[in-house]
A = this chain, B = another copy of it.
C-alpha cells in the first residue's frame, strides 16, 4: 500500500538543515553534520540497512521548487530513481533525467500528492524539504514520519516541524533502530 512518507535527518533540537542554505550549501551551515551517518566510512551496518530500505521504498517523490533549485545540480539526476513532482507556482516543461523525471505541478499540494501516488505503484511517496513536509502535514496527507535523529544540537537553521495549524496530532512509533551514529525512529500518523 502506498504511504506518503516524510523521512529526514534531524538534530536533537529539531533542525533538518543549518542556517543560510543555498545552491553551494544545500544543507546550510553545519547541516552536513546531519548526514554523517549516511557517509561514514565504514558505515554502521544498521545505518546502511536503514538507508537501503528507504531508497528501495521510494516509488515517487514530491519536493518543493526551492529544494529542486538547490538540489538539481548536486544530484545531476533525480534524487531517487523515481518520478519526481515539484511543487511550484511557475509552469515548466517536464525535465527528463537519467533515472527518472521532474514534473512541475502548479495545482497545489493535493494534486501533487495525488499524481505522485498514482505514479508510485505499490511503493511510497517520499517528501523532500521541510517546507514541503509542513505543507503536506497541514493538508493532513502524511501517513508516516521517519526521523533519523542525529546526536548533535545545531542551535539554528531550518526546523523540520514548524507551527502546525491543528490542535495536536497523535503518532504511533513503529520503529526504533539505534546505531552508533543516529537513532532511526518511524511514526505512523493517526488517521
Q: What is A's interface to B at a CB cutoff of 8 Å?
A: 12-14, 30, 33, 137, 145, 147, 149, 151-156, 159-161, 163-173, 176, 178, 183, 185, 187
- Rounded to whole angstroms, the CA-CA distance of A156 and B163 in the bound complex is 6
- Rounded to whole angstroms, the CA-CA distance of A89 and B160 in the bound complex is 35
Number of copies: 2
- Rounded to whole angstroms, the CA-CA distance of A163 and B187 in the bound complex is 26
Q: Decide yes or no: A30 and B168 within 8 Å by CB, A13-B14, A176-B183, A183-B173 being known contacts.
A: yes
A155 near B151 with CB under 8 A, answer no
A172 near B147 with CB under 8 A, answer no
**B contact residues around A156 at 8 Å (CB):** 163-164
Q: Tell me how far the C-beta of A119 lies from the nearest C-beta in chain B, rounded to whole angstroms.
A: 28
Q: Tell me how far the C-beta of A151 lies from the nearest C-beta in chain B, rounded to whole angstroms.
A: 4
A30 near B167 with CB under 8 A, answer yes
- Rounded to whole angstroms, the CA-CA distance of A185 and B11 in the bound complex is 13
Q: Tell me how far the C-beta of A46 lies from the nearest C-beta in chain B, rounded to whole angstroms.
A: 12
Contacts beyond the supplied A14-B161, A155-B169: 13 A-B pairs with Cβ under 8 Å: A12-B161, A12-B171, A13-B161, A14-B159, A30-B168, A137-B153, A151-B172, A151-B173, A151-B187, A155-B161, A155-B165, A155-B167, A176-B176
A152 near B171 with CB under 8 A, answer yes
- Rounded to whole angstroms, the CA-CA distance of A149 and B137 in the bound complex is 20
**B contact residues around A176 at 8 Å (CB):** 176, 178, 183
B161 near A153 with CB under 8 A, answer yes
- Rounded to whole angstroms, the CA-CA distance of A30 and B169 in the bound complex is 11
> Which of A137, A149, A155, A163 neighbours the largest number of chain B CB atoms within 10 Å of its CB?
A155
- Rounded to whole angstroms, the CA-CA distance of A132 and B163 in the bound complex is 23
